[in-house]
Amino acid sequence: MRSALAAPSAAQIWDIATPARPGLLPGVSMAGFRARTRDPIDLSVVPYPAVTVAVDLGDRPLAVDDPGGRRHHGSIVAGLAAGGLRGHGRAIECLQIRLSPLFAHAVFGDCTELGGTVVALADLWGPDAVRTQEQLRAARSWPDRFAIAEAALARRYQAGRAVDPEVAFVWREMVTHLGGVRVEPLAAEAGWSRKRLWSRFRSQTGLTPKRAAQLIRFDHAAHRLAAGHGAARVAAEIGYVDQSHLHRDVRAFAGVTPAAVSHAPWLAVDDVAWAAPAYLSGTPLRAAGR
């Protein structure tokens, strides 16, 4: 979940805290956000190649509008490719956690319905979500909050089931090749039929393999556009057919043009909060429940 904020700049709006050391859980990144202003904040959210958990810790509830016009209040989970979201609130304070789909499956179970949607955290975690949020609110510092969240995620991961090795292999290949892969050869290399890969990949990540590859490629394109590279150069470097192909993908995922992405302030927030993208992490070492 990446935030594109109206003026003033994102850096002026947020105090951002990050863990002082790498986390013990592969495929997990965290950042704490506290608004510097009590004025209303309106956030436009675009997809990111990770499952995102936003734990609401502010005095006033965070509101998130999904593309269907429904408003969600409080702590939420946004699946892969959950775009077209808008967040609203005053004095916002939240812990944002990004989970690689290779890790998220063990934490949340079947992700088929989570692909491009928003779900209340309590609907997925039940009473444990309430207990964890209360502990996070009572914590005196961001390091304490990071430790509490890491412990909660570790418990759920240990009790969950890891993704299939074949799904993990395909995801890693997509990341390695910036999304520029064909599904059929990957399925054959994994020893599965295309149909079986399509079904298992979607149930364990929330997206089809094709859509996941497109999302990874879009993420790299967005960062290069923000770094000042022209659209034609980015299209050629990332592997788009041409510049119009890049334009269509950016429109589909972000709802804006490549030129607008190149000036989007949410990427400045990414540079501060997410030095090591969660989705780049490899498969967790333990095969949970296997």
- pLDDT for 286 equals 44
Closest CA to 139 of 246, 17, 222: 17
Look-up of token digits 């799904």: 167
pLDDT tens digits, residue range 74-94? 999 988 877 667 788 888 899
Closest CA to 225 of 248, 252, 244, 250: 250
pTM of the model: 0.87
> Which residue ranges of the chain lie beneath pLDDT 50?
1-8, 282-290
* Token pair of 63 as six digits: 């509101």
All domains of the chain, ordered by start, with CATH? 2-162 (2.60.120), 165-273 (1.10.10.60)
- pLDDT for 268 equals 65
- pLDDT for 248 equals 93
- pLDDT for 3 equals 43
Question: For residues 164 and 191, what is the distance between their CA atoms, to the nearest angstrom?
Answer: 12
Question: For residues 132 and 143, what is the distance between their CA atoms, to the nearest angstrom?
Answer: 15
Question: For residues 155 and 174, what is the distance between their CA atoms, to the nearest angstrom?
Answer: 29
- pLDDT for 11 equals 58
- pLDDT for 280 equals 61
- pLDDT for 277 equals 64
pLDDT tens digits, residue range 19-73? 988 778 888 999 999 988 778 888 777 778 889 999 999 988 888 888 778 888 8
